[in-house]
Amino acid sequence: MSQIDSRYSIADFIEKTKQKDRGQGLFELESERILEVNLDSMVWTKMGSMISYNGDIRFTREKILEHGIGKLLKKAVSGEGTQLTKAEGCGQLYLADEGKKISILQLENESIYVNGNDVLAFEPTLDWDIKMMKKMAAMLSGGLFNVRLEGTGLLAITSHYDPMTLLVEPGKPVITDPNATIAWSGDLMPEFKTDISVKTFFGRGSGESLQMKFEGSGFVVVQPYEEVYFQNTSST
């Protein structure tokens, strides 16, 4: 019979993994990949992100015209994958999204663009809108559409692994891979460019290498993971 090791007892497991109240306010990180919302009114959450809750909380899928006909039409055209759920009531709500890392941002009369798939939750005090990137006809992809959030309130976004923020300064543009770009400051508007040298090196059959170019003053957030948003639709 093996010797009993208390490090692996059920009691020890519970102690190490049990929920902990940190008193950090409305949004707090229960872990790097689980967001706790100390709900006392209402928040918007990404549909399907609820993993647990306690208390009296009601969930309502956003109505077709909840945010006006303009946003409805943009969603229909863009195929934007983000659908929202309204969580209302009092209690503790726990959110996660495919094990991705969560970052909490406090906007103070500021604006930010976030890839639609990376918006996890936000306060209703933030205004939001779906924005279409330029050169849509040339790239036809759901990744062309991002969400612009503006105002004062809390926002939780997700990333695959640890995000990295790059500062954009006048005269020092930042170039990123669209599939690894998850957010950027609201006063920046990227331009899409094609890396001709990459296309030439690998041959026409391999498709084009698309890049995002940010110029001005602000920041860009990237992740060490490339999600498939942009696809080559041209024939070889």
Instruction: Provide the pLDDT confidence category of residue 19 given band limits of 50, 70 and 90.
Output: confident
Looking at 79-170, list the stretches that DSSP marks H as alpha helix, in order from N- to C-terminal side: 136-139
pTM value is 0.82
| The pLDDT of residue 132 is above 80 | no
The percentage of the chain sitting over the pLDDT mark of 90, rounded to a whole number, equals 54
Q: Tell me which amino acid residue 146 is.
A: N
pLDDT of 159 above 70: yes
Alpha helix segments (H runs only) across the chain: 10-17, 69-78, 136-139, 196-202
Across 21-30, 43-52, 82-91, 187-196, least confident range: 187-196
Distance between alpha carbon 4 and the CA centroid of its chain, in Å? Answer: 45
Region 23-222: CATH code? 3.60.160.10
Q: In the chain, where are the structural domains located?
A: 23-222
pLDDT value at 49 more than 80: yes
Q: What is the pLDDT, as a whole number, of residue 204?
A: 46
Structure tokens at 95: 């959110």
Residue appearing with tokens 């009092």: 90
